[in-house]
Structure 1
Protein backbone atom coordinates (compact mmCIF):
# COMPACT_ATOMS: atom_id res chain seq x y z
CA UNK A 1 0.00 0.00 0.00
CA UNK A 2 1.34 3.42 -0.97
CA UNK A 3 2.27 5.78 1.89
CA UNK A 4 -0.19 8.36 0.56
CA UNK A 5 -3.03 5.87 0.88
CA UNK A 6 -1.95 4.86 4.38
CA UNK A 7 -1.79 8.49 5.53
CA UNK A 8 -4.86 9.99 3.87
CA UNK A 9 -7.07 6.98 3.48
CA UNK A 10 -9.72 6.65 0.79
CA UNK A 11 -13.39 5.83 0.47
CA UNK A 12 -14.31 2.19 0.96
CA UNK A 13 -17.85 1.02 0.32
CA UNK A 14 -19.64 -0.56 3.26
CA UNK A 15 -22.95 -1.05 5.04
CA UNK A 16 -22.05 0.09 8.55
CA UNK A 17 -23.89 2.81 10.45
CA UNK A 18 -21.02 5.17 9.73
CA UNK A 19 -21.50 4.66 6.00
CA UNK A 20 -25.23 5.37 6.27
CA UNK A 21 -24.84 8.38 8.55
CA UNK A 22 -25.32 11.81 7.00
CA UNK A 23 -22.22 13.87 6.21
CA UNK A 24 -23.22 16.62 8.62
CA UNK A 25 -23.51 14.16 11.49
CA UNK A 26 -20.08 12.75 10.62
CA UNK A 27 -18.51 16.19 10.79
CA UNK A 28 -20.22 16.75 14.13
CA UNK A 29 -18.92 13.41 15.43
CA UNK A 30 -15.37 14.36 14.45
CA UNK A 31 -15.68 17.66 16.28
CA UNK A 32 -16.96 15.88 19.39
CA UNK A 33 -14.05 13.43 19.23
CA UNK A 34 -11.31 15.99 18.68
CA UNK A 35 -12.20 19.40 20.11
CA UNK A 36 -12.28 18.49 23.83
CA UNK A 37 -8.80 16.91 23.65
CA UNK A 38 -7.42 19.81 21.61
CA UNK A 39 -8.80 22.39 24.04
CA UNK A 40 -8.21 20.74 27.43
CA UNK A 41 -4.70 19.43 26.60
CA UNK A 42 -4.65 16.62 29.16
CA UNK A 43 -3.03 13.20 28.55
CA UNK A 44 -5.97 11.21 29.92
CA UNK A 45 -8.45 13.01 27.68
CA UNK A 46 -6.23 12.65 24.61
CA UNK A 47 -5.85 8.94 25.30
CA UNK A 48 -9.60 8.52 25.79
CA UNK A 49 -10.34 10.42 22.58
CA UNK A 50 -7.89 8.30 20.58
CA UNK A 51 -9.43 5.12 22.01
CA UNK A 52 -12.95 6.33 21.18
CA UNK A 53 -11.89 7.19 17.64
CA UNK A 54 -10.30 3.77 17.17
CA UNK A 55 -13.53 2.14 18.34
CA UNK A 56 -15.47 4.26 15.86
CA UNK A 57 -13.12 3.20 13.06
CA UNK A 58 -13.59 -0.44 14.03
CA UNK A 59 -17.32 0.24 13.86
CA UNK A 60 -16.99 0.94 10.13
CA UNK A 61 -16.41 -2.83 9.67
CA UNK A 62 -13.58 -2.08 7.27
CA UNK A 63 -10.21 -3.89 7.40
CA UNK A 64 -7.88 -2.54 10.07
CA UNK A 65 -5.24 -2.04 7.37
CA UNK A 66 -7.55 0.51 5.78
CA UNK A 67 -8.62 2.34 8.92
CA UNK A 68 -5.77 2.03 11.41
CA UNK A 69 -2.54 1.71 9.41
CA UNK A 70 0.01 4.47 9.93
CA UNK A 71 2.73 5.45 7.50
CA UNK A 72 6.34 5.33 8.63
CA UNK A 73 6.57 9.06 8.04
CA UNK A 74 3.72 9.75 10.45
CA UNK A 75 5.13 7.37 13.06
CA UNK A 76 8.50 9.11 12.80
CA UNK A 77 6.84 12.52 13.16
CA UNK A 78 4.93 11.42 16.27
CA UNK A 79 8.12 9.99 17.77
CA UNK A 80 10.05 13.21 17.14
CA UNK A 81 7.29 15.34 18.66
CA UNK A 82 7.14 13.13 21.76
CA UNK A 83 10.93 12.98 22.13
CA UNK A 84 11.24 16.75 21.90
CA UNK A 85 8.72 17.28 24.70
CA UNK A 86 10.50 14.72 26.88
CA UNK A 87 13.87 16.39 26.30
CA UNK A 88 12.53 19.78 27.40
CA UNK A 89 11.15 18.22 30.56
CA UNK A 90 7.43 18.01 29.71
CA UNK A 91 6.60 14.29 29.42
CA UNK A 92 2.88 14.91 29.78
CA UNK A 93 2.96 17.13 26.71
CA UNK A 94 4.71 14.33 24.84
CA UNK A 95 1.48 12.37 25.13
CA UNK A 96 -0.74 15.36 24.41
CA UNK A 97 1.05 16.74 21.36
CA UNK A 98 1.76 13.47 19.57
CA UNK A 99 -1.56 12.02 20.68
CA UNK A 100 -3.56 14.96 19.37
CA UNK A 101 -1.84 14.74 15.98
CA UNK A 102 -2.69 11.04 15.83
CA UNK A 103 -6.24 11.83 16.96
CA UNK A 104 -6.69 14.37 14.16
CA UNK A 105 -5.46 11.91 11.53
CA UNK A 106 -7.67 9.06 12.73
CA UNK A 107 -10.74 11.27 13.14
CA UNK A 108 -10.32 12.67 9.63
CA UNK A 109 -9.95 9.14 8.31
CA UNK A 110 -13.29 8.25 9.93
CA UNK A 111 -15.00 10.60 7.47
CA UNK A 112 -12.78 9.91 4.48
CA UNK A 113 -13.16 6.12 4.46
CA UNK A 114 -16.94 6.20 4.87
CA UNK A 115 -17.88 9.09 2.60
CA UNK A 116 -17.35 9.70 -1.10
CA UNK A 117 -15.18 12.71 -1.89
CA UNK A 118 -17.97 14.31 -3.92
CA UNK A 119 -20.31 14.18 -0.93
CA UNK A 120 -17.68 15.73 1.33
CA UNK A 121 -17.14 18.61 -1.08
CA UNK A 122 -20.87 19.14 -1.60
CA UNK A 123 -21.38 19.37 2.15
CA UNK A 124 -18.59 21.92 2.49
CA UNK A 125 -20.00 23.96 -0.42
CA UNK A 126 -23.45 23.97 1.18
CA UNK A 127 -22.02 25.08 4.54
CA UNK A 128 -19.79 27.75 2.99
CA UNK A 129 -22.70 29.08 0.98
CA UNK A 130 -24.43 30.09 4.21
CA UNK A 131 -21.48 32.24 5.28
CA UNK A 132 -21.73 35.91 4.21
CA UNK A 133 -19.24 37.08 1.56
CA UNK A 134 -18.13 33.50 0.82
CA UNK A 135 -18.59 32.02 -2.65
CA UNK A 136 -19.52 28.41 -1.93
CA UNK A 137 -18.73 27.23 -5.45
CA UNK A 138 -15.25 28.76 -5.44
CA UNK A 139 -14.64 27.34 -1.98
CA UNK A 140 -15.68 23.88 -3.14
CA UNK A 141 -13.47 24.20 -6.19
CA UNK A 142 -10.51 25.11 -3.97
CA UNK A 143 -11.14 22.14 -1.69
CA UNK A 144 -11.46 19.81 -4.65
CA UNK A 145 -8.16 20.99 -6.11
CA UNK A 146 -6.47 20.62 -2.73
CA UNK A 147 -7.77 17.06 -2.27
CA UNK A 148 -6.51 16.18 -5.73
CA UNK A 149 -3.17 17.95 -5.35
CA UNK A 150 -1.98 16.54 -2.03
CA UNK A 151 -1.97 12.85 -3.08
CA UNK A 152 -0.38 13.77 -6.41
CA UNK A 153 2.46 15.74 -4.81
CA UNK A 154 3.09 13.15 -2.12
CA UNK A 155 3.03 10.42 -4.76
CA UNK A 156 5.56 12.37 -6.82
CA UNK A 157 7.86 12.61 -3.82
CA UNK A 158 7.80 8.85 -3.22
CA UNK A 159 8.16 8.04 -6.92
CA UNK A 160 11.21 10.30 -7.23
CA UNK A 161 12.66 8.91 -4.01
CA UNK A 162 12.36 5.35 -5.31
CA UNK A 163 13.91 6.33 -8.66
CA UNK A 164 16.80 8.09 -6.91
CA UNK A 165 17.35 5.10 -4.64
CA UNK A 166 17.49 2.79 -7.67
CA UNK A 167 20.27 5.00 -9.12
CA UNK A 168 22.18 5.21 -5.84
CA UNK A 169 21.27 8.88 -5.37
CA UNK A 170 19.10 8.55 -2.26
CA UNK A 171 21.39 10.98 -0.38
CA UNK A 172 21.52 13.51 -3.19
CA UNK A 173 18.86 16.06 -2.22
CA UNK A 174 19.09 18.00 -5.48
CA UNK A 175 18.43 14.85 -7.48
CA UNK A 176 15.42 14.11 -5.27
CA UNK A 177 13.86 17.54 -4.94
CA UNK A 178 14.33 18.95 -8.44
CA UNK A 179 12.02 16.44 -10.20
CA UNK A 180 9.39 16.95 -7.49
CA UNK A 181 9.47 20.72 -8.01
CA UNK A 182 9.25 20.28 -11.78
CA UNK A 183 6.27 17.95 -11.41
CA UNK A 184 4.57 20.33 -9.00
CA UNK A 185 4.98 23.28 -11.38
CA UNK A 186 3.73 21.19 -14.30
CA UNK A 187 0.73 20.04 -12.27
CA UNK A 188 -0.10 23.63 -11.27
CA UNK A 189 0.15 24.83 -14.87
CA UNK A 190 -2.02 21.99 -16.16
CA UNK A 191 -4.61 22.67 -13.46
CA UNK A 192 -4.61 26.39 -14.26
CA UNK A 193 -5.01 25.71 -17.99
CA UNK A 194 -7.90 23.33 -17.32
CA UNK A 195 -9.66 25.93 -15.16
CA UNK A 196 -9.09 28.68 -17.71
CA UNK A 197 -10.45 26.50 -20.51
CA UNK A 198 -13.67 26.12 -18.55
CA UNK A 199 -13.85 29.80 -17.61
CA UNK A 200 -13.33 29.03 -13.93
CA UNK A 201 -11.22 30.89 -11.40
CA UNK A 202 -11.57 34.21 -13.26
CA UNK A 203 -13.11 37.29 -11.70
CA UNK A 204 -16.02 38.93 -13.43
CA UNK A 205 -15.34 42.66 -13.06
CA UNK A 206 -18.04 43.81 -15.38
Structure 2
Protein backbone atom coordinates (compact mmCIF):
# COMPACT_ATOMS: atom_id res chain seq x y z
CA UNK A 1 0.00 0.00 0.00
CA UNK A 2 1.48 3.40 -0.93
CA UNK A 3 2.40 5.71 1.94
CA UNK A 4 0.01 8.41 0.70
CA UNK A 5 -2.95 6.03 1.16
CA UNK A 6 -1.75 5.02 4.67
CA UNK A 7 -1.34 8.63 5.84
CA UNK A 8 -4.90 9.04 7.20
CA UNK A 9 -4.55 5.79 9.15
CA UNK A 10 -1.18 6.87 10.57
CA UNK A 11 -2.63 10.23 11.65
CA UNK A 12 -5.52 8.49 13.43
CA UNK A 13 -3.08 6.11 15.15
CA UNK A 14 -0.82 8.97 16.31
CA UNK A 15 -3.80 10.93 17.64
CA UNK A 16 -5.06 7.86 19.49
CA UNK A 17 -1.63 7.25 21.02
CA UNK A 18 -1.24 10.89 22.03
CA UNK A 19 -4.71 10.87 23.57
CA UNK A 20 -3.80 7.83 25.68
CA UNK A 21 -0.52 9.45 26.73
CA UNK A 22 -2.27 12.66 27.77
CA UNK A 23 -4.85 10.67 29.74
CA UNK A 24 -2.15 8.63 31.46
CA UNK A 25 -0.18 11.77 32.29
CA UNK A 26 -3.29 13.43 33.71
CA UNK A 27 -3.83 10.46 36.02
CA UNK A 28 -0.18 10.45 37.07
CA UNK A 29 -0.17 14.18 37.78
CA UNK A 30 -3.13 13.83 40.14
CA UNK A 31 -1.16 11.27 42.17
CA UNK A 32 2.22 12.98 41.96
CA UNK A 33 3.49 15.21 44.77
CA UNK A 34 6.43 17.56 44.09
CA UNK A 35 9.50 16.23 45.88
CA UNK A 36 12.63 17.76 47.42
CA UNK A 37 15.48 15.43 48.34
CA UNK A 38 16.64 12.90 49.25
CA UNK A 39 19.13 14.75 51.41
CA UNK A 40 21.77 12.75 53.23
CA UNK A 41 22.51 9.15 52.25
CA UNK A 42 19.91 6.83 50.69
CA UNK A 43 21.12 3.84 52.73
CA UNK A 44 19.53 1.77 55.45
CA UNK A 45 15.84 1.04 55.92
CA UNK A 46 13.47 3.06 53.74
CA UNK A 47 10.51 4.86 55.31
CA UNK A 48 7.63 7.00 54.14
CA UNK A 49 4.62 8.64 55.74
CA UNK A 50 2.77 8.47 52.42
CA UNK A 51 -0.71 7.16 53.08
CA UNK A 52 -0.67 8.50 56.63
CA UNK A 53 -1.01 11.96 55.08
CA UNK A 54 -4.53 10.95 54.00
CA UNK A 55 -5.53 11.51 57.65
CA UNK A 56 -5.25 15.26 56.99
CA UNK A 57 -2.65 18.02 57.20
CA UNK A 58 0.41 17.93 59.44
CA UNK A 59 -0.60 19.36 62.83
CA UNK A 60 2.62 18.63 64.72
CA UNK A 61 5.96 16.86 64.66
CA UNK A 62 8.51 15.28 66.97
CA UNK A 63 12.26 15.24 66.39
CA UNK A 64 14.76 13.14 68.36
CA UNK A 65 18.41 14.17 68.71
CA UNK A 66 21.22 11.81 69.59
CA UNK A 67 24.08 12.71 71.89
CA UNK A 68 26.45 12.65 68.91
CA UNK A 69 24.50 15.43 67.18
CA UNK A 70 22.61 13.29 64.64
CA UNK A 71 18.88 13.57 64.13
CA UNK A 72 17.92 10.06 65.21
CA UNK A 73 14.19 10.04 64.57
CA UNK A 74 11.15 11.93 63.37
CA UNK A 75 7.40 11.54 63.72
CA UNK A 76 4.57 13.56 62.20
CA UNK A 77 1.11 14.25 63.52
CA UNK A 78 -1.65 14.28 60.91
CA UNK A 79 -4.94 15.89 62.05
CA UNK A 80 -4.09 15.26 65.70
CA UNK A 81 -3.15 11.58 65.17
CA UNK A 82 0.52 10.64 65.53
CA UNK A 83 2.01 8.66 62.66
CA UNK A 84 4.57 5.89 62.86
CA UNK A 85 8.02 6.91 64.11
CA UNK A 86 10.84 6.94 61.57
CA UNK A 87 14.33 6.24 62.86
CA UNK A 88 14.92 5.70 66.55
CA UNK A 89 13.67 7.64 69.55
CA UNK A 90 16.51 8.63 71.85
CA UNK A 91 16.29 10.49 75.14
CA UNK A 92 16.21 14.03 73.73
CA UNK A 93 12.81 14.52 72.07
CA UNK A 94 11.36 17.84 70.89
CA UNK A 95 7.66 18.21 70.14
CA UNK A 96 6.07 21.02 68.16
CA UNK A 97 2.32 21.43 67.75
CA UNK A 98 1.19 23.68 64.92
CA UNK A 99 -1.57 26.25 65.27
CA UNK A 100 -4.82 25.77 63.33
CA UNK A 101 -4.25 26.62 59.64
CA UNK A 102 -0.44 26.67 60.17
CA UNK A 103 1.62 24.61 57.73
CA UNK A 104 5.26 23.69 57.17
CA UNK A 105 6.46 25.69 54.15
CA UNK A 106 10.22 25.07 54.20
CA UNK A 107 12.70 22.61 55.69
CA UNK A 108 16.42 23.35 55.73
CA UNK A 109 19.23 21.54 57.41
CA UNK A 110 22.64 19.92 57.30
CA UNK A 111 23.53 16.46 56.05
CA UNK A 112 26.42 14.18 55.25
CA UNK A 113 26.26 10.45 55.91
CA UNK A 114 23.47 11.29 58.40
CA UNK A 115 21.00 14.11 58.90
CA UNK A 116 22.67 16.46 61.39
CA UNK A 117 20.23 19.36 61.50
CA UNK A 118 16.62 20.12 60.59
CA UNK A 119 15.11 23.61 60.51
CA UNK A 120 11.36 23.86 60.00
CA UNK A 121 9.70 27.10 58.82
CA UNK A 122 5.93 27.50 59.03
CA UNK A 123 3.37 29.58 57.17
CA UNK A 124 3.11 31.80 60.28
CA UNK A 125 6.85 32.56 60.21
CA UNK A 126 7.78 30.33 63.13
CA UNK A 127 11.20 28.65 62.87
CA UNK A 128 12.29 25.53 64.77
CA UNK A 129 15.93 24.35 64.93
CA UNK A 130 17.00 20.79 65.84
CA UNK A 131 20.44 19.15 65.80
CA UNK A 132 23.86 20.60 65.09
CA UNK A 133 25.12 22.73 62.16
CA UNK A 134 27.54 20.15 60.77
CA UNK A 135 27.83 18.90 57.20
CA UNK A 136 26.42 20.17 53.92
CA UNK A 137 23.51 22.62 53.76
CA UNK A 138 20.21 21.84 52.05
CA UNK A 139 17.05 23.86 51.61
CA UNK A 140 13.75 22.21 50.65
CA UNK A 141 10.62 24.14 49.74
CA UNK A 142 7.60 23.66 47.49
CA UNK A 143 7.70 24.73 43.88
CA UNK A 144 4.42 26.62 44.23
CA UNK A 145 3.41 29.15 46.85
CA UNK A 146 0.14 27.32 47.64
CA UNK A 147 1.94 24.04 48.45
CA UNK A 148 2.94 22.88 51.93
CA UNK A 149 4.72 19.85 53.38
CA UNK A 150 2.41 16.88 52.86
CA UNK A 151 4.60 13.99 54.05
CA UNK A 152 8.21 12.78 54.33
CA UNK A 153 10.25 9.82 53.16
CA UNK A 154 13.84 8.72 53.58
CA UNK A 155 16.17 6.16 55.14
CA UNK A 156 17.31 5.31 58.67
CA UNK A 157 19.57 2.80 60.39
CA UNK A 158 20.12 1.66 63.97
CA UNK A 159 21.74 5.01 64.87
CA UNK A 160 19.98 7.86 63.11
CA UNK A 161 18.23 9.23 60.03
CA UNK A 162 20.46 8.60 57.01
CA UNK A 163 18.42 10.54 54.48
CA UNK A 164 15.20 12.52 54.25
CA UNK A 165 12.99 13.83 51.46
CA UNK A 166 10.00 16.16 51.48
CA UNK A 167 6.77 15.83 49.49
CA UNK A 168 4.75 18.99 48.83
CA UNK A 169 1.23 19.75 47.67
CA UNK A 170 -1.83 21.79 48.61
CA UNK A 171 -3.11 21.08 52.14
CA UNK A 172 -5.35 18.01 52.24
CA UNK A 173 -8.64 17.40 53.98
CA UNK A 174 -8.88 14.12 55.87
CA UNK A 175 -10.10 11.27 53.67
CA UNK A 176 -10.01 8.50 56.27
CA UNK A 177 -10.38 7.94 59.99
CA UNK A 178 -6.89 7.59 61.43
CA UNK A 179 -7.48 6.97 65.10
CA UNK A 180 -5.98 3.52 64.64
CA UNK A 181 -2.71 4.84 63.19
CA UNK A 182 -0.26 5.02 66.09
CA UNK A 183 3.52 5.16 66.26
TM-based fold match above 0.5: no
Say which structure is richer in strand: 2
Indicate the structure (1 or 2) with the bigger Cα radius of gyration.
2
Greater relative CO, 1 or 2 (CA 8 Å, sep 6+): 2
Relative to the length of structure 1, the TM-score reads 0.18
